[in-house]
Structures are given as C-alpha cells and as structure tokens.
A and B are shown apart, each in its own frame.
Chain A
Amino acid sequence: MAKKTPEINASSNADIAFLLLAFFLATTTMNVDSGLFRRLPPYMENAEAPKVAKRNILQVLVNRNDQLSINGELADVSTVKQRTIEFILNTRNSKDKPSKKVVEIPLIGNTDVSNGIVSLQSDKSTSYAMYIAVQDQLTAAFHEMRNKRSNSQWGKDYDDLSDEQRTAINKAIPMNVSEAEPKNIKK
C-alpha cells in the first residue's frame, strides 16, 4: 500500500504573496504628470510684431539675475498676480489701462472684453524656476478673474462649469499672454 504523503502546509503562501504585494506597492508610483498647460502661437517666417497701443500692454520682464520688472519698475514675483488683475479688469476705466471692446458671446451676450495683453519677456539666462513662478502667477491671475466672473454670471466656480460655459468665460476673459522672442536683456 502506498504511503499517503502528508499535506503541505500552505499558510505561508499568504505571507509570500504579501511580500510581493508590498514590493510592488513600494516600487511603483502612480505617476500623474502635472504642470502648466499652454498653447504656442503658430510659427511664421519673419513675422512682424503687430502694433499694439501702449496702454494695452503690461510689460513683464525677467532679467538674467531673475529680477522682475513690471512696466519698467522693479517688482516682486508675488505682486504679478494682483498687477495683472488690476491691469486686465481696469475697473475704473482709466486712460493708461487697456481699452475694452464689446463682443457678443454665446450664453453671456454682449459684454466688455479687455484688449489687454501681458507681454512676458525673459532673458536667455533667466532660470526656469523663476519663469515658472511668473507663469504660475499669471495663471493664478486669470483663473481668479474667470472664477469671479463665473460666480457673478452663474453663481458657480469656474472649475464646476460645463464645457460650453467655460468656453464662454474664456472668451470673455481671454488669456492674452504674449511671449516675445528672448533677448539678452541688459541689467
């Protein structure tokens, strides 16, 4: 008669599986890319810069020492957001801030749209960290304006809007940030 082999204890199987599981948990990253999204202007051969009235431009310059100037005066990065909002909205309709044009936008109707353009210029030696800091401020500025607008229009945050509503808001407050070709800005 053949001898019965005793059953192998399988209770350590779970431990082995747990070990593998822990290994995969530790080594893999649920890596989601994040960042600031932008759309570049199409490339044109020897395109000349369009002429824009001085009042419609907010000049933001970052030089090689990561110093920032707004319309020729030294400024701190953290002020960019506030300055941009004041510039674009021009609530007091002053003569040295951007003019406005009336545009008909679906869902909103006739509304004032600012002609303001933020001109961002950086030096070849500007650090990328500084550049991102400025871009971040600009994004924050436009996001805040759009948020306010959508709250007064529909009583909802910009992020909660439907796609059509969002495009309407984007048309009412267009993100006009122009990046000129980089120059070697002098100190």
Chain B
Amino acid sequence: MAKFKKDGKREVPAISTASLPDIVFMLLFFFMAATTMREVTLMVQNSMPEAEQTVKLEKKSLVSSIYVGRPTAQYQGSYGTQPKIQLNDYFANLQDINLFIQSERESRNEEDRNNLINNLKIDKDVTMGIVTDIKQELRKANSLRINYGARKKL
C-alpha cells in the first residue's frame, strides 16, 4: 500500500514570473512600433461620410491628405466658420494646393512620385463648391489620383 507522506518537501515549486515583464515589454514595443500617432493635429471638424463600397488605401507612403471642414471651436474666432482647407498644419487657400502637391512629390522617392494618391478627407457638412475647386486645382497640378475619404458603412 502506498503511504501518504506529509512531510511538505514534495510541493511543486512556484513558477518564476521573472520573465513576465520581459514578455509584456516585448508586446509594448511591438505596439509602439506598429502604430502611428496622428501626424497632423486637426484644425478642422472632420467627420467623414459613410459609404458601402469603400476600399482601403494599401500603400501609406503614397497617400497625402487634404483636410476640409469648418474650423474647430478654438480657431473659429480667427478664421470664421466657413469651411477651410487644411494642408499639413496650417490653413490654406486654393492657390496653395499646387505648391503643396509639388512639395509632397519632392518628399517621395522617384518611383512613387507619379502614383501619389490625394486623400480628400472632407467633412460631410461641406458643400460641393469647395470640393470641385480642389479637384480643379489637383487637375491643374496634374495629380489625378484621388480618394474620396469615407468610412465603411457597417
């Protein structure tokens, strides 16, 4: 017959958790590297319309964004409430778009230059007047690939 020993020496040793922080740090670094913080601070209201047929923009390096919307509350005092165009970190006029496209092209490498996609991130309350003006400017700048920013309707 087996004897039950009760001398306490046969306890399973506690699993060392010393490497747990390492694992978690690894996860942390992954997330820090994989995600990007928004590179421009939005100065305009930007709630995009919804559409069913949206496609994702795969190559991030080709995308340059143009924001359009009403200035947010903190800028309304100095810029009014009419829809404005935001390029990078400043409010722009229609004439600035050409220059903006030039500089965006300059910052890409040779083979990407002609494949630039202009991502038009336009607030859904904006009227078409300003949108068509922008499209016209883009045509003049010969940057013809555009993406009407829209969220996927679920």
Contacts and interface: CB of A to CB of B under 8 A. Distances in A.
A and B part of one assembly: yes
Interface of A: 10-11, 13-14, 16-18, 20-21, 24-25, 28-43, 122-129, 131-133, 135-136, 139-140, 143, 181-182
Contact of A126 (B21, B24, B127): B127
A124 B132 CA distance: 8
B55 A35 contact: yes
Interface string B1-22: 0000000000000000110110
Interface stretch (B31-39, B72-80, B106-114): B31-39
Main secondary structure of the interface of B (DSSP, over half): mixed
B147 interface: yes
| Interface size classification for chain B | 35 or more
B128 A36 contact: no
A21 to B, nearest CB: 5
Interface in B97-154: 117, 119-129, 131-132, 135-136, 138-140, 142, 144-152
Given A28-B37, A35-B57, A14 B125 contact: no
- Looking at A25, A128, A136, the one whose CB has the most chain B CB atoms below 10 A away is A128
Contacts of A29: 35, 38
B31 A127 contact: no
